[in-house]
Amino acid sequence: MGVSRARLPRATLWRYGIGSLGTGGFATLPGLVLVYYLTDTLGVTALVAGLILTISKVWDVAIDPVIGGRSDFSLARSGSRRRFMVMGGIALPVFFVVTFAVTPGLPPAVSAIWVTLAFILCATSFSLFQVPYIALPAELTGRYDERTRLLTWRVVVLTVAILLFGAGGPLLRDLFPDNPYLGYLVMALVAAVALGAGMLSSSTVAPQNVPEPESRPTASLVQNYRGGIRALIRSQPFRALLATFMLQGLATGMMLAGAQYVATWVLHSETAVTLLFVALIAPALLLTPAWGGLAKRIGKERGFWLASIIFLVACASLIMLLWSPGWWVFVPVAVAGAAYAGMQTLPMAMLPDVISHDAARHGEGRAGIFGGLWTAGETAGMAFGATALTVMLAITGYQESIGIDVVTQSTAAVMGIVLSFSVVPAAAMLVSLVTLSRYSLRRADIEPEGE
């Protein structure tokens, strides 16, 4: 199956990019409010809230390679990955609403079970869309710079999605201050419509090719996992890129889950979480195309290094919230937002390079397997970031609450929130630079001189 080397039409850029309205929205809104929903509305302890996220993401990690293998099989059999994307786009909105529709008055243990089951179904639905979605760039174009262009537009939509869901979700919830259960339900209903619209619209960009008659592979569950293991073993660039993205996902996931706690208990304004998101996303939205242009001049790898270092420095500076909490926090958050645009655009543009490099060396296209592993790593990193936050909250004595009950947090608990928003994520970013140093692919490996 050939991969085009022509310049991608603008319609393809936007149809692909609009999928990030769904992927970005689902990654952002639960990451921002789910832990807070569990601890401060449903009365679930911080450790149990962390366990719920861990269980759902362990399940996610387990099924993503299988979905990747089945997606490759679907491509070979039918000529398209579209079927999986449509199934995910239909199912995710339904289970997303169910997650935030817990009946008021249930015991915390029952509420925890409800959210666990519903969120596992959400994760499964999300993977049905996300895994083939991640695999598409390697199949839409074979050109090094065109992949950067394609993924740049995707990240533009991604940053808009983060702003809409991250800022708008809490605003919708807070329209019902006397009934948080209703607030979360309204938030979920509105979000579900946007999630489904973005994902189903993007599914139309999946190429529909006529499969070659002799290319109709089958794969068992064991073979799908073996395929994932082989991909990890044989592609050193993929291992380095995936490890880097996971570590950075842990850092950003921890900060995302901690933003509501910083707004409430450090800045003493629950609505400040909306302003934090505006400060983060406005620079990212403006500078995403600039990161694409910079990558064209100096290479994706060097651009990724620069973005990661800037984010690390901005993140570490937030430790000053311990001694001087105040609105100055929006300055380093804005700097982090500018860097975050590069941290999303460039590794996503590097992934199809890794996939095509592996196919060129080994003579078989396994984009679905790579997409499954990438999705598993990305979601696991973000989830374990939220889990790390709940562990820190539990260690420092954070007090959960039910409904509109009012509690007071200790100095130690507030310190734990600040550390979870600054030093700990900065440490994960520092380790990610070590793994990034092991990434070896360059432009010449993907697009030799003269092509």
Following DSSP, what letter does each residue of 21-38 receive, concatenated? Answer: HHHHHHHHHHHHHHHHHH
- Partners of residue 402 on adjacent β-strands: 42
Q: Which of 78-82, 203-207, 220-224, 414-418 has the lowest mean pLDDT?
A: 220-224
Residue 223 identity: Q
Please identify which residue in the block is written with the tokens 């179904």.
Answer: 121
pLDDT of res. 260: 82
Residue 71's nearest CA partner among 294, 330, 369 is: 369
User: Domain 11-207+222-445 adopts which CATH fold?
Assistant: Growth Hormone; Chain: A; (1.20.1250)
Most confident of 268-272, 407-411, 416-420: 416-420
Return phi, psi of residue 192, to 5°.
-60, -40
* pTM of this structure: 0.72
pLDDT of res. 160: 85
Sorted by where each begins, the domain ranges of the chain are 11-207+222-445
What average pLDDT does range 408-434 have in this prediction? 92
On whether the CB atoms of residues 124 and 63 are closer than 8 A, the answer is yes
Residue 216 has pLDDT above 90, yes or no: no
Q: Please state, rounded to an integer, the average pLDDT across all residues of the chain.
A: 83
Residue 382 has pLDDT above 90, yes or no: no
d(CA 362, CA 412): 54
Residue 27's nearest CA partner among 79, 110, 96, 97 is: 96
Most confident of 134-148, 158-172, 337-351, 419-433: 419-433
Per-residue burial over 221-247, b if 16 or more Cβ lie within 10 Å, else e, is: eeebbebbeebbeebebbbbbbbbbbb
pLDDT of res. 5: 59
Residue 180 has pLDDT above 60, yes or no: yes
d(CA 197, CA 402): 33
pLDDT of res. 184: 94
On whether the CB atoms of residues 303 and 294 are closer than 8 A, the answer is yes
